[in-house]
Structure 1
Amino acid sequence: MSDQNSLLTTPLNALHLELGARMVPFAGYSMPVQYPAGLMAEHAHTRNAAGLFDVSHMGQLRLVGPDAAAAFETLMPVDVIGLGVNKQRYGLLLTDEGTIIDDLMFVNRDYANGGDLFVIVNGACKAGDIAHIQAKIGQRCEVIPMPERALLALQGPQAVTALQRLVPGVEQLVFMTGGAYRWNGAELYITRSGYTGEDGFEISVHEAQADALARALLAQPEVKPIGLGARNSLRLEAGLCLYGNDIDTTTTPVEAALNWAMQKVRRTGGERAGGFPGADKVLGQLDGSQPATRKRVGLIAKDRVPVREHVELQNTQGQRIGEVTSGLIGPTINQPIAIGYVEPAYAALGTQVNAIVRGKAVAMEVAAMPFVPTRYYRG
């Protein structure tokens, strides 16, 4: 863990302390892990009402120029060129070996007509990601980091009710779309997306207005502050990967069961298929010519024993077949859930495996993800 004094802080740091947050080091920042209500209450409040998360540690950048999409597409197995204006998409930066440098979100803010591609990357990876993007495509488009922008996430079924009081019109957004809005003179860019499996929004705001906006949101009766602890339990129930745990530079998109994130135009035939880093390996794993040796799966335990990351997974004969990468007792389903990697022979739904917790076998079953049904608003 970093020394608390060497940590960066977000523009909401004073607010977190005022609200009684317990602060921990995360991605080089001092971040709130929970508030006095506690993780379980925060998790439930986000599922039932609306939770406000400070995600200002994330990296925000702009790719500017008419060639931005074609250039960005060379770094990822994702359709960037075909993305409509104000539409958002999930992306994966890959190494030359086809493994995952980072996962990210990007929006086409009309780069073709003087706008940009707006990209949000993970906090722990942002310096490396920006350097990588700059080195690879900086000749073809401008790569402009936005360290002056804070990022707030408002998540939960009542998020839209609270936010539209302050920013009328946001209710017209649907899942994975965005738009430019104003609040008290502040320029906001808001997407209807998030990391909880619930309906909700991510709001990019200048650091100078972040505290005022956060306080205005917390003044709404539906909204409470939520820390990193509940952010993690919510995303795990939603079956979403955490970079550094469930995906990293040792995992390919196919091993990570992220085939859905690679659009057909980049996978089969046609002039835009392949052409991304590690394409031979990734496409070989997709078509079975170079089969993946492991697969990411969801797991549910039969007993109420928490199964955490790095726990070994064995088959019923006691042979090692994989490892858990994220795990906890899911507050909503009240059962121990986990994400892990197993040999492909054990990846089918319903397969029985054992997690070895403190030398004892905990029976688990391969289960479909998400563990809790998602409630994204698709219109």
Structure 2
Amino acid sequence: MTENESTGEEAVPTATLPLDAWHRAKGGRMVEFAGYWMPIQYEGIMAEHLWVRENAGLFDVSHMGQLSLSGEDVAAALEALVPGDIAGLKPWRMRYSLLLGDDGGILDDLMITNEGDQFAVVVNGAVKWEDIGHLRENLPDDVTLNHNEDYGLLALQGPKAAEALARLVPECADMVFMQAARATWNGHAIGLSRSGYTGEDGFEISLPNEVLAAFADALCAMDAVKPIGLGARDSLRLEAGLPLYGHDLNEEIDPIEGDLGFAISKRRREEGGFPGAARILGHLADGSARKRVGLLVDGKLPVREGAKLFDGEEEIGVVTSGGFAPSVGAPIAMGYVPRDHAVPGTAIAAEVRGKRVPCTVAAMPFIPHHYVRKQGG
């Protein structure tokens, strides 16, 4: 560590992923993100984005925190911290949920999987240490939390993902969206889930760090698969209307303001018992003062995070994510506006370099999701 002269604090060096050398050998342009050196692009963001929409892209998301929780009544312990129905989660099913602060603000969004003998929790890389501290402090002593740092995480996304992955892990072929499984590859235990953050069909694969490169090589040897960087991951998730923690969500925003009411399960709406339940259930019943919305931008000028939103001369909100959307063919954004401006079709404007850019509130996702769901349901 080195000392930061301006603050007197020790500066934490940027960490490297287990696949750091692999990314560099593939031509990845590395940038700092969530405390790690990560590839922002290989061939180019536009080309990589469109490749994922038409083929299969391989993302390294090993910066995310992979946790395992075991012990007596883990589901009840988790339900004291999140608004989802964890007790009702069937084995090898997963649920998107939210780690909530005492006032109902979102500390992180995460994925929870019932693995039968334990619960797996995947948290965002930028706040994983805060999440781990929060969980350790608030979970009962008889619940054991393990941080699986010896495992990396890959995401294979796109319409050809299932066909490609099935050549290496045949078990994946029969899975559906938000289903998980354990499997083996070349004698190594791996975890699978049919999930992802691009809006496309795809999988996340948890593997021991020592076999990540070999597995990535085996996938990228297929014509349908290419490595994809952070830049396209961001534009893909934006088109899919998926919020990014630390940008579109934070500890001041509750689930209703964040347009994530679906994450509050029916039983929890009736029973409460989660942090900030009074605030959240009040907003659920009566509406919140502000809401996360999608924005279609007129013209070709991208509207970026931090841009102020206006109705005439009145400042009404802020953009939290934005950029050019390759599959839409135009700039898009998401941000927060008052409830009475949140109706799709509402005309507002964003301020970009002193200029007002017309925008229209739009329903999300901007392009349809292509998840493979259980037939008949």
Q: TM-score range by the shorter chain?
A: over 0.9
Counterpart in the other structure of 1:297: 293
2:7 aligns to what?
Answer: none
What's 1:18 paired with?
Answer: 25
Q: Residue 75 of structure 2 aligns with which residue?
A: 69
TM superposition shift of 1:5: 9.2
SS across alignment from 2:15: coil
- Residue pair 1:186, 1:206 contacting (<8 A) in 2 also: yes
Q: Secondary structure at the match of 2:16?
A: coil
Q: Secondary structure at the match of 2:321?
A: strand
Q: Which whole-Å CA distance do the structure 2 matches of 1:170 and 1:140 have between them?
A: 34
Residue type of the partner of 1:8?
A
Partner of 1:27: 34
User: Which residue number corresponds to residue 125 of structure 1?
Assistant: 127
User: CA offsets, 1:230-275, max 9 Å, x none?
Assistant: 000000000000000000011000000100111111012xxxx211
Aligned to 1:308: 304
2:297 counterpart of 1:282: no
Provide the rounded CA distance (Å) in 2 between the counterparts of 1:91 and 1:66: 21
Cα deviation code 1:109-167 (max 9, x no counterpart):
01xxxx11001000011111011111101414111111111000000000001100011
Partner of 1:84: 90
**CA 1:5–1:136: 2 relative to 1, 3 Å:** closer
Q: Is the 8 A contact 1:159 1:201 kept in 2?
A: yes
Other structure's SS at 2:128 match: helix
Which amino acid in structure 1 is aligned with residue 328 of structure 2? I
Alpha-carbon deviations, 1:266-309, whole Å to 9, x = none?
012xxxx2111111111111111xx5221100000121110000
Which residue type is aligned with residue 368 of structure 2? P
1:310 is matched by which residue type in structure 2? G
What is the TM-score with the length of structure 1 in the denominator?
0.95
User: Aligned equivalents of 1:262 and 1:282: distance in 2?
Assistant: 9
1:323-350 per-position Cα deviation (integer Å, ceiling 9, x unaligned): 0000001010111100000011100110
How far apart, CA to CA, are the structure 2 residues paired with 1:295 and 1:91? 18
State the distance in 2 between where 1:247 and 1:5 align: 25
Pair 1:359 & 2:354 matched? yes
Structure 1: which amino acid aligns with 2:282? G
Alpha-carbon distance between aligned partners in 2 of 1:171 and 1:185, rounded to the nearest angstrom: 19
Q: Which runs of 5+ in 2 are unaligned?
A: 5-10
Classify the secondary structure of the residue corresponding to 2:304.
coil
Residue 324 of structure 1 corresponds to 319
Opposite residue 325 of structure 2, the aligned amino acid is: G
Structure 2 CA distance for aligned equivalents of residues 51 and 231 of structure 1:
10
What is the aligned partner in structure 2 of residue 240 from structure 1?
242
1:177 partner letter: Q
Aligned length: 366
Q: Which runs of 4+ in 1 moved over 6 A?
A: 2-5
* Secondary structure in 2 matching 1:133: helix
Q: 1 CA distance for matches of 2:219 and 2:161?
A: 10
Between the aligned partners of 1:8 and 1:263, the Cα distance in structure 2 is 37
Whether the 8 Å contact between 1:52 and 1:152 is mirrored in structure 2 is yes
The equivalent position to 1:148 in structure 2, one of 147, 150, 159, is 150
CA distance in structure 2 between the aligned counterparts of 1:359 and 1:297, rounded to whole angstroms: 23
Quick one: which of 34, 38, 42 aligns to 2:44?
A: 38
1:344 correspondence with 2:342: no
Counterpart amino acid of 2:147? P
Query: Which residue does the alignment assign to 1:372?
Result: 367
SS at 1:212 equivalent: helix
Any idea what SS the aligned residue of 1:187 has?
A: strand
- Provide the rounded CA distance (Å) in 1 between the counterparts of 2:82 and 2:355: 41
SS at 1:250 equivalent = coil
Q: Which moved more, 1:161-170 or 1:135-144?
A: 135-144
1:191 aligns to 2:193 (yes or no): yes
Q: Which amino acid aligns with 1:237?
A: E
Distance (whole Å) between structure 2 residues aligned to residue 164 and residue 349 of structure 1:
40
Per-residue CA deviation, residues 145-194 of structure 1 (Å, 9 max, x unaligned), is 11111000000000001100011121100000010011101111000000
Percent sequence identity over matched residues? 51
Separation in 1, partners of 2:366, 2:288: 24
Q: Deviations over 1:33-69 (max 9, x none)?
A: 001x100110011000000000000000001024111
RMSD between aligned residues: 1.4
The one-letter code sitting in structure 2 at the alignment partner of 1:26 is F
Partner of 1:49: 55
8 Å Cα contact 1:71-1:140 kept in structure 2: no
